[in-house]
Amino acid sequence: MAALPVYPWRLAPDGLATRRQLRAAGLRPGGQDVVAQLERPRRRRTPLTAFLYRVDRAKPVRPMTPAKYAALDRANTARRTCPACRADAGYVIPVSLGMCVPCAYPEAA
C-alpha cells in the first residue's frame, strides 16, 4: 500500500481541496478516495492534518429535501426546549446545564 503524499500548509497543488473547501464550492467528495494529506505544524503538539480530494472528481452537493428541512427543524427545536419547564428557551440549551438558565439558577431570578 502506497503512502499518501503530504503537503505543507498552504502549499497543496491546484486541483486538490479539503472537505470544507469542496463544500464552500458546492461540492462533495462523492465516494472518491483521499489522494493526499495536508499538514499544519503546531508548537509542541502533533501537526493538524487534513485530507485532500480531487476537485475534478467531486460531485455536486445533494439538495435539501422537504423531509430533511423538517427533520432539521425538529432537531433544532428539541435542542431549544428545556426539559424542566418544557418552554422554548429561544437559544440552544447548554449541555453543561441540561436546562434553560432560569431553571438552572432559580435564585438569580
- The pLDDT > 90 percentage for the chain reads 94
SS3 21: helix
Residue among 71, 65, 70, 90 nearest 80 (CA): 90
User: Model-level pTM?
Assistant: 0.69
Q: Kindly report the number of other CB atoms within 10 A of residue 17's CB atom.
A: 21
pLDDT digits (tens, 9 = 90+) for 51-102: 999 999 999 999 999 999 999 999 999 999 999 999 999 999 999 999 999 9
Residue among 83, 108, 88 nearest 98 (CA): 83
Residue 1 has pLDDT above 80, yes or no: no
For residue 84, CA distances in Å to 73, 78, 106 come to 21, 13, 12
